[in-house]
Amino acid sequence: MHTVGTFQIAAAEMDVLSTRLARLSPLDQADIKLLQHAEAGRRFSPARREMVHEGEPMGEPEAMLSGWACRQRILEDGRRQILAFLLPGDLIGLCRRTGAVAATTVMSVNDVQTCSLPSARPSEALAEAFARSAALEEHYLYAQITRLGRLDARERLADWLLETHERLDFVGLASRDRFPLPITQEMLADALGLTSVHVNRTLQGMRRDGLLTIRSGLVVLTNRVRLEQMTDHKPARPYSA
């Protein structure tokens, strides 16, 4: 059961932050407590609100607790490129430097909950978890570049859907073959470097070929094997495990 679009806290979304970080690095009870305490102080952003402003000084580092957000850049003539999506458990503005300004705008996609990261100097294990989270973020940026540069429309969609499933699954927000997708086809287009019209046509083609189903914000990957074949998609492997 997903509660996309409301501020209600779904069972699956309890402790996403501590859960995700603990999966990235073995945290002890003290770290978990620290994170859960941080998660308690939730902040709310309504849909389509700029949470971070490109070019302005960055605030304190935060974490996504529920909802989706996106990093984006807008060109002078209005063209938009979505650089990445921020999902529950993801960190925002991690590496702070003196006088650092935000490199991109971050905008909430639907209603979003965030919390501040613990401000105390992190333990060794927690620092490791932060570093691995950053490494994953970097990995997905590289994947995005490859997608836009060398995949055609259908491959981009297949690859992106698999990646998103993988990320949501990592924090327990996806089942084996399905996950909630709270974004419009136009946002997908802006993320994948296509037009919304072409995204629509491509999705229909994939639906016709029995690859997937999309209705009312829920994606079902009906043929993962074939999707994976058409995009040599490799799951992220941020550390040698």
Footprint on residues 68-87 left by a copy of itself (CB under 8 A): 71, 73, 75-77, 79-81, 83
Nearer to a copy of itself, 197 or 220 (CB): 197
Measured between its terminal Cα atoms, the distance across the chain in Å is 32
Task: Say whether 29 sits in a helix, a strand or coil.
Answer: helix
Looking at the DSSP bridge assignments, the partners of residue 70 are 85, 107
How many angstroms separate the CA atoms of 142 and 47, rounded?
27
**198 binds, options a copy of itself, DNA, none, Cβ within 5 to 8 A by partner type:** DNA
Question: Tell me, what amino acid is at 109?
Answer: V
Taking CB under 7 A as the rule, does residue 216 contact DNA?
yes
87 vs 69: CA distance, rounded Å: 7
**Cβ atoms 89, 22 nearer than 8 A:** no
Task: Check residue 216 for interaction with a copy of itself (CB under 8 A).
Answer: no
Torsion angles phi and psi, residue 106, rounded to 5: -120, 125
Query: Is residue 103 close enough to count as binding a copy of itself by CB under 8 A?
Result: yes
Q: Between residue 168 and residue 197, which ones bind DNA under the rule CB under 7 A?
A: 184-186, 193-197
- Nearest to DNA of 2, 154 (CB atom): 154
Q: Say how many residues touch DNA, by CB under 7 A.
A: 19
Give the nearer residue to DNA in terms of CB position, either 217 or 238. Answer: 217
Does position 213 bind DNA by CB under 7 A? Answer: no
Q: Does 101 bind a copy of itself (CB under 8 A)?
A: yes
Distance CA(241)–CA(5), nearest Å, equals 36
99 binds, among a copy of itself, DNA, none (CB under 5 to 8 A by kind): a copy of itself
- Judged by beta carbon distances under 5 to 8 A according to partner kind, the member of DNA, a copy of itself, none in contact with residue 5 is DNA
Nearest to 64 by CA among 16, 104, 131: 16
The minimum distance between CB 210 and a copy of itself, in angstroms, equals 23
Shortest Å distance, C-beta 3 to DNA = 12
In the block, which residue shows the tokens 């940026």? 141
What CA–CA distances, in Å, run from 65 to 40, 43, 101, 111, 151? 10, 9, 23, 11, 32
Apex CA 64: angle with CA 170 and CA 193, to 5°? Answer: 75
With binding defined as CB under 8 A, does residue 59 bind a copy of itself?
no
Q: Which does 205 bind (CB under 5 to 8 A by kind): a copy of itself, DNA, none?
A: none
- Pick from 124, 198, 210, 235 the residue near DNA by CB under 7 A: 198
